[in-house]
Amino acid sequence: MTLTLKQQDGQTTLDRIEAAKNLRHFLNRLNKQAFGNAAQRFGKKVAVISMLEASCSGRLHYHLAMKNPFPTTAACHEAVVDCWSKTRWGYHEVDLQPIYSSGWISYITKSKFIDGWDVENTHLVR
């Protein structure tokens, strides 16, 4: 999944710290939508790997690999768009695609992304 970010909000310019806060807010909303009160009561979370990247022009955006916690792909897409649009920095471009091969995981974990690995917003299920 690719989530794009607004680069400016009034006088404030997006930076990596604000981007990480925004993704955390998004994931909190998504967890609540996926798991209801269990998200807060029991710490239930969507399994996700998050990488922050800057495009050639410097625009920040996130690449996420996420386990679908919803009954269908359509329900997942709807929830992602809904939760992302309710964040301060969420931009309207959301690309959600199923992972069919390990190539995409290899792509987002290549060396240029290592500095962009958002460890705080990565949650792996055992």
Note the pLDDT tens digit of each residue in 76-119.
Answer: 999 999 999 999 999 999 998 888 777 776 766 665 555 777 88
Q: Residue with structure tokens 């955006």?
A: 61
The separation between CA 39 and the C-alpha centre of its own chain, rounded to angstroms, equals 17
- Type and span of the H or E element at 60: strand 60-66
pLDDT at res. 100: 76
Residue 3 amino acid letter:
L
pLDDT at res. 119: 86
pLDDT at res. 124: 86
Task: Please tell me the total number of residues recorded for the chain in this structure.
Answer: 126
Residue 59, pLDDT above cutoff 70: yes
Q: What is the per-residue burial (b if ≥16 Cβ within 10 Å, else e) of 74-86?
A: eebbebbeebbee
In 69-123, where does DSSP find H-type helix? 73-85, 103-108, 111-114
